[in-house]
Amino acid sequence: MSKECILYPEQYWLIWKLSFLSLFSAIYAAHNKHYDLIYVPGGVFLTSTLYWYKPDYSWRRYLDMGFVKLAVSYNMYRAYRSQYTIQYYTLVFIAICFYPLGIYYYKKNDYWSSTYAHCMLHIFGNIANVVLYSGKIEPATYYLTNFSCSEI
């Protein structure tokens, strides 16, 4: 492993290639006319490919991590009361579980297991997006105009 990168090239190139799944999710969101949601996987695609091209502890890492957190939060907000709410939340939960697993393996210097765990995070996250974007989703403003305290 080089001093600049956090993984070996074979490992980070695998994650870089898998980052292109988010581009597919963005195109699928557009195909299903969920136009505001295009930015979620589209932004993840941009920040992930930027970071995983040469993963180090630079600003690119923190941009990627920050955008992914924002993107997942927005998707989870939009998934509430969507046609596939339960399926989406279940798949996102599974995806998120791979993140600490990857960190666990990384700290044990098991870089391939860490890489595979991170790959599974990308795979399940994008499957969750496709499931969400396949169904009916209320407009983003729905919750601002139709909120009542009795729903809490």
**Tell me: the pLDDT tens digits for 69-121?**
999 999 999 999 999 999 999 999 999 999 999 999 999 999 999 999 999 99
pTM of the predicted model, to two decimals? 0.89
Range of the domain at 132: 9-151
Confidence tier at 143 by pLDDT (50, 70, 90): low
Mean pLDDT value across the chain? 93
User: What gap in Å lies between CA 92 and CA 130, rounded to an integer?
Assistant: 11
Would you mind telling me the total number of residues written for the chain in this entry? 152
pLDDT of 124 reads 98
Q: Say whether pLDDT at 62 is over 60.
A: yes
Looking at the 3D structure of the chain, how many domains does it have?
Answer: 1
Report yes or no on 2 lying in a domain. no
User: What gap in Å lies between CA 57 and CA 61, rounded to an integer?
Assistant: 6
Where are the alpha helices (H) located in 37-84, listed in sequence order?
39-52, 59-79
Regarding predicted confidence, which is higher, 32 or 142? 32
pLDDT of 140 reads 81
75 within 8 A of 37, measured Cβ to Cβ:
yes
